[in-house]
């Protein structure tokens, strides 16, 4: 049994317990088109549809808004502006700054100013165009670099510091300074933002929202309508992807639908089409990085001074925590003996950027990996050797981060060795060099990079979860918890935990939609912690019921409680063996409660932000990837020939789901660092707001030969069945793809010059980097 967090080795005849590679609970429904998303919920009679009217300036005073023509248009039932918000207009999730509808000032091109509800979507869209707005344009700041220059921030900068970097830089035998940039990323979830608000009795609202954070949507709807929290219920069965994009920003869509529902007393649906979704909602923060690094002749970093400047857009949203997480990951897996890392939250007149898989962590890692790559190339050494030389050590040796946390669970030295061997890195490096010598146009490159990602919300209070476990007389279970399903498999993994706890087959457990009326005050499903937190809460609830059954049976049969054992759909009491459902029926007749709420909070973590010191993470998840790429140096086009991934998920609750997360995360990381490019024009207008101009990876972009393995490991911390979070960390394996491209570009100059290739490494950028190297070689 695995109750104490140990590992269950004897799987018995139980179907779908912990460790079983059962398919996603909705896999068949996903492919058959039968899974119900919010837009598929049968519409109530009288349902209205919403279209927004968006700003056409990046920064402007709004002098007047005239909605009379829109209001008079066919089918229109209501038009609202900021003046029609009954309660608090500000729906900022952590800090103020996000008006439901722009109030006197627009701060990005595409900010909603008014919303129209009409009988049909077509009528709503036609009427939204009739809203007349008078603007007084104001100067706009559009880039992080410009905002950093002007010290124009959405919140104050933070510094993390260890040792004496100034002195260590001054005495370092090698020193270099530089800057780099990396782009943002659109979430491109397949299901766009949507909310469906239904008025109920007494002014109450039931709102279906495509959100990772139903509790926050509930609270913000209540606040903007001037209602109590108990008057609003938010439900979500599943999202068609969230990727962080639905951590905070669905609230705006849900609030607009709710205001219109309250005003018209009608059900109101607000679904963004792809273009509006890309224009109106925040993305991954692009970053501008400045560094000063000192190192020795082996490439070991001796001192680092770094500025990480994230483009936040017009409001704080989650940017404080996101830039913090970038700073926390500015070491990736490397020991920085002396370091000062400063994080800046740059304010720009663009959409408010938000959570995206990795939550700033990937940006911090790209910065340090760029640096390590540059150090290695400058010294003419294999980047893998420089990476290994910089890895954290153990047991008091080079194991403390720049924010004061000791890295206790480091497995990167073994992982890199194992992947170096299994990917045949050295032999392939030589083969690539041979290939490049004989190939003037096509060049190949390889890179092997590590990932170390901190698991826990850095806002400590969010590391809690609740669950509701209901056992029926027939021995079946309804399971509810705060986790939301966005395709990642949290529902099935938590259900497996409950199946394991009761020792009943997985098909006896019905997973029910996340609903604020069942479990209150939940945290967002984010920070990869969905299964860690909700799995523990659900197990707590299930254990309470199991313990009640144990004591009931012990009393009934006159045995000690430890003579009662649950195993493989049966319950043994002494030498009696009963079916689980016989026990639940008996317990019901004896008036034993068969429901429980479970709760969990993560132990050990603390973070003193004012001192920039603490243990923000319960543990780290690790991974490594080795990628080989081939570029065409005359066109910049490329392909990925092979990628070997080794990833640490601890003791996996569901290896099939975890491997799916690793593959999906890796490919999403490839997209971010190679082909996905957001482009705003000089007026601050996003020009890449559809797949026609924004290229996401497809099946053809997946490395032709992709080999994913799970690293044999057990979480040394007492997590749910000793598993590790898997949602975000694999995204950062994509860094190996970007650096493999850099390596291939460097081959143009026979690795004698350091190439200049920031992210995303689009074919255009690869071509320019090749041209630049050729010019530098010629000059």
Binding site for ligand MTE (CB under 6 A): 241-244, 357, 483, 486-488, 490, 525-531, 661, 664, 727-728
DSSP 528: T
Q: Which two tokens stand for residue 263?
A: 């005003």
Footprint of ligand HPA on 317-356 (CB under 6 A): 318, 321, 325, 355
Q: Pick between residue 530 and residue 650 the one whose CB is nearest to ligand MTE.
A: 530
Q: Pick between residue 47 and residue 514 the one whose CB is nearest to ligand MOS.
A: 514
Given 235, 247, 676, 728, which residue is catalytic?
Answer: 728
DSSP 115: E
Residue 727, phi then psi, degrees to nearest 5: -60, -50
Q: Whole-number minimum distance, CB 637 to ligand MOS, in Å?
A: 31
- Residue 488 touches which member of ligand MOS, ligand MTE, ligand HPA, none, C-beta under 5-8 Å by kind: ligand MTE
One residue of 371, 526, 612, 659 binding ligand MOS per CB under 6 A: 526
- Nearest 5°: CA angle at 674, between 438 and 455? 120
- Contact call for residues 255 and 221 (beta carbons, < 8 A): yes
Rounded distance between C-alpha atoms, residue 186 and residue 684, angstroms: 16
Footprint of ligand MOS on 338-357 (CB under 6 A): 355-357
Query: Taking CB under 6 A as the rule, does residue 618 contact ligand HPA?
Result: no
CA 143 to chain centre: 23
Q: Which two tokens stand for residue 271?
A: 């679904």
Rounded distance between C-alpha atoms, residue 663 and residue 661, angstroms: 6
- Of the candidates 548, 507, 159, 148, the residue with the CA atom closest to the CA atom of residue 311: 148
Query: Taking CB under 6 A as the rule, does residue 738 contact ligand MOS?
Result: no
Tell me, residue by residue from 526 to 565, as one string, x for binding to ligand HPA by CB under 6 A and - for no binding: xx--------------------------------------
Rounded distance between C-alpha atoms, residue 149 and residue 151, angstroms: 6
Query: Taking CB under 6 A as the rule, does residue 766 contact ligand HPA?
Result: no
DSSP 591: T
- Of the candidates 111, 739, 725, the residue with the CA atom closest to the CA atom of residue 357: 725
Rounded distance between C-alpha atoms, residue 668 and residue 95, angstroms: 29
Strand extents, DSSP E, 183-274: 194-199, 205-209, 232-236, 268-271
Q: Pick between residue 528 and residue 584 the one whose CB is nearest to ligand MOS.
A: 528
Q: Whole-number minimum distance, CB 719 to ligand MOS, in Å?
A: 17
- Residue 677 annotated to the active site: no
Query: Taking CB under 6 A as the rule, does residue 212 contact ligand MOS?
Result: yes
Q: Whole-number minimum distance, CB 354 to ligand HPA, in Å?
A: 10
Q: Pick between residue 212 and residue 627 the one whose CB is nearest to ligand MOS.
A: 212
Rounded distance between C-alpha atoms, residue 50 and residue 122, angstroms: 9
- Of the candidates 288, 294, 287, the residue with the CA atom closest to the CA atom of residue 378: 294
- Nearest 5°: CA angle at 671, between 193 and 654? 75
Neighbours of 514 (CB within 10 A): 28
- Residue 486 touches which member of ligand MTE, ligand MOS, ligand HPA, none, C-beta under 5-8 Å by kind: ligand MTE
Rounded distance between C-alpha atoms, residue 141 and residue 139, angstroms: 7
One residue of 244, 282, 482, 755 binding ligand MOS per CB under 6 A: 244
Q: Whole-number minimum distance, CB 665 to ligand MTE, in Å?
A: 7
Q: Whole-number minimum distance, CB 353 to ligand MOS, in Å?
A: 12
Footprint of ligand HPA on 429-488 (CB under 6 A): 457-459, 462
Rounded distance between C-alpha atoms, residue 90 and residue 100, angstroms: 6
- Residue 318 touches which member of ligand MOS, ligand HPA, ligand MTE, none, C-beta under 5-8 Å by kind: ligand HPA
Residue 338, phi then psi, degrees to nearest 5: -135, 125
Footprint of ligand HPA on 290-319 (CB under 6 A): 318
One residue of 389, 527, 543, 596 binding ligand MOS per CB under 6 A: 527
Q: Pick between residue 131 and residue 158 the one whose CB is nearest to ligand HPA.
A: 158
- Contact call for residues 703 and 695 (beta carbons, < 8 A): no
One residue of 25, 98, 247, 540 binding ligand MOS per CB under 6 A: 247
List residues near ligand MOS by CB under 6 A.
212, 244, 247, 355-357, 359, 526-527, 728
Active site residues: 728
List residues near ligand HPA by CB under 6 A.
247, 318, 321, 325, 355, 359, 457-459, 462, 526-527
């Amino acid at each position: 049994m695995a109750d104490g967090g140990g590992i269950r080795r004897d799987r018995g005849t139980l179907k779908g317990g912990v460790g079983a590679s059962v398919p996603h609970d909705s896999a068949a429904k996903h492919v058959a088109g039968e899974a119900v998303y919010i837009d598929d919920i049968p519409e109530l009679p009288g349902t209205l549809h919403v279209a927004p009217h968006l700003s056409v300036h990046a920064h402007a005073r709004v002098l007047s808004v005239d909605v009379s023509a829109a209001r008079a248009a066919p089918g229109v039932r209501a038009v609202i502006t900021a003046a029609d918000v009954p309660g608090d207009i500000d729906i900022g999730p952590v800090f103020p700054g996000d008006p439901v509808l722009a109030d006197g000032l627009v701060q990005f091109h595409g900010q909603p100013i008014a919303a129209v509800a009409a009988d049909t979507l077509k009528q709503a869209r036609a009427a939204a165009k009739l809203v007349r707005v008078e603007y007084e344009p104001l100067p706009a700041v559009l880039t992080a670099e410009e905002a950093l220059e002007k010290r124009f921030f959405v919140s104050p900068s933070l510094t993390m510091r260890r040792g004496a970097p100034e002195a260590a830089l001054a005495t370092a035998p090698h020193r270099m300074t530089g800057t780099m940039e990396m782009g943002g990323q659109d979430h491109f979830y397949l299901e766009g933002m949507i909310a469906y608000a239904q008025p109920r009795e007494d002014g109450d609202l039931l709102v279906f929202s495509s959100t990772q954070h139903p509790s926050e949507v509930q609270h913000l709807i209540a606040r903007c309508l001037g209602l109590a929290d108990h008057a609003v219920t938010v439900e979500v069965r599943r999202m068609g992807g969230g990727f962080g994009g639905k951590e905070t920003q669905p609230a705006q869509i849900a609030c607009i639908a709710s205001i219109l529902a309250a005003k018209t007393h009608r059900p109101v649906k607000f679904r963004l089409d792809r273009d509006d979704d890309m224009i109106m909602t925040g993305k991954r923060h692009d970053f501008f990085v400045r560094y000063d690094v000192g190192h020795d002749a082996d490439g070991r970093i001796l001192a680092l001074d770094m500025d990480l400047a994230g483009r936040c857009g017009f409001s704080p949203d989650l940017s404080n925590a996101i830039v913090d997480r970038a700073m926390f990951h500015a070491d990736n897996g490397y020991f920085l003996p002396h370091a000062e890392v400063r994080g800046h939250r740059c304010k720009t007149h663009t959409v408010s950027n938000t959570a995206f898989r990795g939550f700033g962590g990937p940006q911090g890692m790209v910065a340090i990996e760029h640096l390590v790559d540059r150090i290695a190339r400058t010294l003419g050494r294999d980047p893998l050797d420089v990476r290994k030389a910089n890895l954290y050590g153990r047991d008091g040796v080079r194991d403390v981060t720049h924010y004061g946390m000791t890295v206790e669970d480091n497995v990167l030295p073994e992982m890199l060795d194992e992947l170096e061997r299994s990917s045949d890195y050295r032999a392939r490096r030589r083969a690539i060099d041979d290939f490049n010598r004989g190939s003037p146009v096509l060049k190949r490159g390889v890179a092997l990079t590590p990932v170390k990602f901190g698991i826990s919300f850095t806002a400590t209070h969010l590391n809690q979860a609740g669950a509701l476990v209901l056992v029926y007389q027939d021995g079946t279970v309804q399971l509810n918890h705060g986790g939301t399903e966005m395709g990642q498999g949290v529902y099935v993994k938590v259900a497996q935990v409950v199946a394991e706890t009761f020792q009943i087959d997985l098909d006896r457990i019905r997973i029910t939609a996340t609903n604020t009326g069942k479990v209150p005050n939940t945290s967002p499903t984010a920070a990869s912690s969905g299964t860690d937190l909700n799995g523990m809460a659900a197990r707590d609830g299930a254990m309470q019921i199991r313990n009640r059954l144990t004591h009931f049976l012990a009393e009934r049969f006159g045995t000690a409680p430890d003579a009662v054992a649950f195993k493989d759909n049966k319950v043994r009491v002494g030498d009696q063996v009963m079916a689980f459902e016989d026990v639940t029926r008996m317990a019901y007749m004896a008036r034993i409660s068969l429901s429980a709420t479970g709760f969990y909070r993560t132990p050990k973590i603390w973070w003193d932000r004012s001192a920039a010191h603490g243990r923000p993470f319960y543990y780290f998840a690790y991974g490594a990837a080795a990628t080989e790429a081939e570029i065409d140096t005359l066109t910049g086009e490329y392909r990925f020939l092979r990628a070997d991934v080794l990833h640490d998920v601890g003791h996996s609750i569901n290896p099939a789901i975890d491997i799916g997360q690793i593959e999906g995360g890796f490919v999403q990381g490839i997209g971010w660092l190679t082909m996905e490019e957001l482009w705003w024009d000089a007026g601050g207008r996003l020009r890449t707001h559809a797949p026609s101009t924004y290229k996401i990876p497809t099946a053809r972009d997946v490395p032709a030969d992709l080999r994913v393995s799970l690293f044999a490991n057990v979480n040394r911390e007492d997590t749910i069945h000793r598993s590790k979070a898997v949602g975000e960390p694999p995204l950062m394996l994509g860094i190996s793809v970007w650096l493999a491209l850099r390596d291939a570009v460097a081959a143009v100059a026979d690795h004698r010059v350091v190439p200049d290739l920031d992210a995303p490494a689009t074919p255009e950028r690869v071509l320019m980097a090749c041209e630049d190297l050729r010019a530098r070689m010629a000059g």
